[in-house]
Amino acid sequence: LGILAEESNLGENVGTGNWQTDMHPTRDRPVFEEITRELGLNPDEVKVSKKPWYGWGGAMGPSQFIPSTWVMYKERVAKAAGQSPPNPWDARTAIFATALLMMDNGADAQTRAAERKAALKYLAGGNWSKPAYAFYGDDVMRLADKFQKEIDILEGR
């Protein structure tokens, strides 16, 4: 939930970018065309993230997966979500994708440090330890704490 809130405000903001100007031209645009074609979507009508100050845009759906990352997870997401082809704009499917990526990033160690590191890897991959990205890990953990407090209330704790 912390990742989904940080990435898209729980799906409220899935982007205002254009795939042809905000996406990496060789890494992501061809993959995005394949994803949208397979889902029967017009790539010119699908919302993606705008190019930020620290990299490329073009992230998709509530989880804000970059197309080249999505295709690496596509089969696992399809199996976990029971949706083939998996749709990154579908909230349920996006949640499965986020969980798989966070697990692969080490969050399944179930420590605060591991979860923060996994969040940083979610944003920056191999550049996760750069101080410029610390804000992201801090924000995700703050949001996770907020959601956990609300869950605890619901569970009578």
Mean pLDDT, residues 48-61 taken together: 91
Q: Which of 72, 69, 111, 73 is nearest to 93 (CA)?
A: 73
Count Cβ atoms below 10 Å from residue 56 Cβ, excluding itself.
18
pLDDT of residue 54: 74
- The pLDDT tens digits for 65-104 are 999 999 999 999 999 999 999 999 999 999 999 999 999 9
Mean pLDDT, residues 104-112 taken together: 97
**Helix-then-strand count for the chain, H and E:** 7, 0
pLDDT of residue 114: 98
- The pLDDT tens digits for 21-54 are 999 999 999 999 999 999 999 999 999 999 988 7
